[in-house]
Structure 1
Amino acid sequence: MSLIYNLGIYLAQLGLKCVAPFNKKIALGVKGRSETFNTLKNNLKKTDKTLWFHCASLGEYEQGLPVFKALRERYKTHKIVLTFFSPSGYQIRKNSPIADVVVYLPIDTKKNAKTFLNMVNPELTIFVKYDIWPNVLNELKQRQLRAILISAAFRENQSFFKFYGKTLRKALFTFEHIFTQNEASKTLLESINYNTVSVSGDTRFDRVYSQLNQNNQLDFIEDFKGNNLCVVAGSTWLPDENLFINFVNNEASKGVKFILAPHNINHAQIKNLKEKVHTETVLFSEKDGKNLSKAQVFIIDTIGLLTKIYHYADIAYVGGAMGNTGLHNTLEPAVFGVPIIIGNNHVKFPEAKSMIDMGGMFSISNQNEFNAVLNELIKNEAKRLDSGSKNLDYIKKNKGAVIQILDYLRI
């Protein structure tokens, strides 16, 4: 089975290089991986003590960040190497202050695994959630280097738990300990006789809760919102944006403000989005010199501000679940104590189910349902506040994973 895996890896590597000229995101990854070893060579010495943190993409980075920060503080004399597999994580966090070196993880060949670990030689390795790479993990095990997996979430239909998943299953056993998000994941691991496992919960709860202790002020949002009720739609895709455009054009009263933060910042798409709105609209990129208080719709055509913008929401909508792209982070608005609306494709997101069951989140399937839920939350202040408080309570009850992980690492 390992032979098949290694053959697949080599074919995948070749395929990525062939497709790269025609796909910007893949091209970024191919180019970035070609620079990994030179970057490590230029920034690490044989005498350096190191820690290695690996994340598939941006979401996993945010998930692991509270643990990374704590270890950065604890191991001040160590150099930290942060790796990403996806360009969407690397491009945004390549200058992360928690790391001394940020690179792409090389394609998981045996040769790359040996070369990478010869250069990094980490005292401790932390993988976040998933992105299990057998060759590099087996090489860590052979060298008797410590590795743990945090915020892991498993499903019964994954390869680890199938008869054909021997190679990936073996890779799980290279971790000295796995911290899972829930009991179901722990039970699945125990079903394959992996027993050094703890249910710590999801570190994302600690991550978002820490946002309350940060400065979330954005003067331009305050100028735009004023004393009006504000609906923030974050990480939206076209199906989500169509809901909002129809609502703003046909249902919204003048006393309600709307902020749209699309997931993809594409100039042509942003221009088209603005043109569809029939009320006064301003773009973030064009805000300077504008009287923002006169606009009813604010389109955020930049990245990195959404978490703070949720601070100004009275009602939030989180995109991704109206289509097949995947629901985006609902915990970010939840921590600010606001009700949340999402689409109906959220079966793989247990936090969404929990908040729906608690009454803090509302799932809709079409325009009519969206209009009905949003109008009720706008008009019914008591329901709006009660729903929002349930979401904040949910965050408070589920934080604490970081403490458990750090306690283990003190052993």
Structure 2
Amino acid sequence: MTRNFYPSTKQTAVLLSYSLLWILIIPFALCHFVYQLIRRKPGYTKLRLSRYGFTLKQGNHENGPLIHCASVGEVVAIQNLVEQLLEHNPKQRITITTNTTTGADRVKLLFADRVNHAYLPYDFPPFIKVFLNRKRPTKVLINEMELWPNLCDQCWRSNIPIFIINGRMSEKSTKTYQKYPSLFQPMFEKITSICAQDQRDYQNYLTLGVSPEKLTLTNNIKFDLSISDYDIAFSQTLKTSFALESRLIIVAGSTHEPEEQILLDAYLALVTLYPALLMIIVPRHPQRFEKVHQLLQTQNIETALMSDVKPCTSMTQVLLCDQMGKLRSIYALADISFVGGSLADRGGHNALEPAAMAVPILMGESTYNNPAICQALADSGALLTVTDARQIEAACKTWLDNPEQRKHAGDAGKQVLALNRGAIQKTLDVLTAFNSP
């Protein structure tokens, strides 16, 4: 642990001021929680009391690692890491925290009762302290970049090692942290070790004053993605259930507004040339399922809903996935994929999932969440950058007209994964070097 750091009077005062701001926020958050609880909104149960530090008894999961993942993408990214931790010690008591209901659902889907789930408390010192005292974690792992000053402070005070794994630090975030050095510099001092995704992130941590002794360049653990037998088997089930055997398929995964409309514009131009073409749209967030469905209906797009489990007809143009947890298997159905959050300015989602299925990839220019991954895929020819419907149409037409070129692009993406594996082992090496007593 980093115990030789002593915050200055100014730094202590700034942290106190930050903490007091939560007193203004928490009453509104609590009223919102009670309101949603009364409305019986899905996901709003007593388990959310952990946001205020209180956790219900959920088996023997205390005294183990606590891994924080903001939402679905971060949970999926750490799947193989958690599997290796459990394989090494099946009795290990792992808790995974998230901020969102969708993240909680994905924890349950991937790990069932092999790990515990809790919502991370709001970053108010009493809540964090109560939560840590209840969970008694041996170490805290923060996946990617969701950093909270009081969480780091309370772990430091309790002598709990805190790690950033698969650490991401964009230029935008770096500038934000630099604006408030009295709040964030002490936070980085209290972190035990940081595993950086790539050279950009490593350098940005150095820019923020993180000691090189605390930094390890591990590469991105997303490269260690593996496709399970279940993913492949479920993909075949989808193909049969929805009668997709004779269709050419474009999968639009993790989409945001206005990406669906841009993709539809491209699709409607393409389908006149390729009558067997089907688009499968998988919105990133479940609260948008109905909105996307309405978008399709207003344009008289012949649409099937995945939740209806009815075979697509020859007239079906779009299959809308209105369920969570199926995207990886859906990518296996694709002839061409589009990865969302990239035309919308969201930094781009995980392009390695279609790459693992040997599917060629289209993305917009917004890829700041995973720049090294996207660059490696682009350099190999597995990923093409598009900016509008016309470019999507042109890229799809090239691949649809040239099956061998399409296959080569898909195989290139799969090769990128094979060449860049090893981040999980490097991360485990860092963690074992700081084993708690």
1:52-131 correspondence runs (5 A): 52-94=66-108, 96-97=111-112, 99-131=114-146
Partner of residue 232, structure 1 = 251
Is residue 7 from structure 1 mapped to residue 7 from structure 2 by the alignment?
A: no
For the 8 Å contact 2:347–2:368, the answer to whether it is kept is: no
1:204 aligns with 2:222: yes
- Relative distance call for 1:167 and 1:18 in structure 2 (3 A) is same
Aligned residues: 407
In the superposition, the TM-score normalised over structure 1's length comes to 0.87
Q: Is the 8 A contact 1:220 1:292 kept in 2?
A: no
* 1:326, distance to aligned residue in structure 2 (A): 4.1
Q: Which amino acid aligns with 1:54?
A: H
Of 363, 378, 381 in structure 2, the residue corresponding to residue 342 of structure 1 is 363
Which of 334, 351, 356 lines up with 1:330 in the alignment?
Answer: 351
Q: Matched residues in 1 for 2:381 and 2:192: separation?
A: 39
Using the alignment, how far apart are the partners of 1:291 and 1:371 within structure 2?
A: 23
Q: CA deviation at 1:304?
A: 1.1
Does the C-alpha gap of structure 1 residues 87 and 278 become closer, same or farther in structure 2, counting only changes over 3 Å?
Answer: closer
- Is the CA contact (8 Å cut-off) linking 1:29 and 1:86 kept in structure 2? no
**Quick one: structure 1 residues 287 and 304, their matched pair in 2 at CA, closer, same or farther if it must change by over 3 Å?**
same
2:420 maps to what in 1?
398
- Partner AA of 1:233 in structure 2: A
How far residue 278 of structure 1 moved from its aligned partner, in angstroms, is 5.6
**Aligned equivalents of 2:26, 2:175: Cα separation in 1:** 21
Q: State the TM-score, normalizing by the size of structure 2.
A: 0.82
1:277 shift after superposition: 6.0
Partner of residue 194, structure 1: 211
Q: In 2, are the aligned partners of 1:82 and 1:99 still within 8 Å (CA)?
A: no
Report the 3-state secondary structure (helix = DSSP H, G, I; strand = E; otherwise coil) of the residue aligned with 2:379.
helix
Q: How far apart, CA to CA, are the structure 1 residues paired with 2:53 and 2:210?
A: 40
Change (3 A) 1:85 1:168: farther
Distance 2:329 2:376 in 1: 24
CA distance in 1, matches of 2:35, 2:52: 25
Work out the CA distance in 2 between the residues paired with 1:98 and 1:391: 34
Q: Does the residue aligned with 2:319 lie in a helix, a strand or coil?
A: strand
The 3-state SS of whatever aligns with 1:12 is helix
Residues 53 and 131, structure 2, Cα contact 8 Å, conserved in 1: no
Aligned partners of 1:156 and 1:306: how far apart in 2? 29
Residue type of the alignment partner of 1:57: S
Unaligned runs of 5+ in 2: 1-13
Question: Residue by residue, what CA displacement relative to the aligned partner does 1:277-298 show, whole Å, maximum 9, x if unpaired?
Answer: 666542212233x465664432
Which ranges in structure 1 are unaligned for 5 or more consecutive residues? none
Alpha-carbon distance change, 26 to 203 in structure 1, aligned in 2, over 3 angstroms: farther
With over 3 angstroms needed to count, the CA separation of the structure-2 counterparts of 1:43 and 1:357, relative to structure 1, is: same
Partner of 1:305: 326
Distance 1:214 1:19, change over 3 A: closer
Question: Out of 387, 390, 398, which is 1:365 matched to?
Answer: 387
SS in structure 2 of the partner of residue 254 of structure 1: coil
Distance in 2 between the 1:25 and 1:328 partners?
31
The RMSD of aligned alpha carbons is 3.1
User: 1:240-251 counterparts in 2 under 5 A?
Assistant: 240-251=259-270
Change (3 A) 1:236 1:119: same
SS of aligned partner of 1:216:
helix
Conserved? CA contact 1:20–1:26, under 8 Å = no
Q: Within the alignment, does 1:260 sit opposite 2:281 as a pair?
A: yes
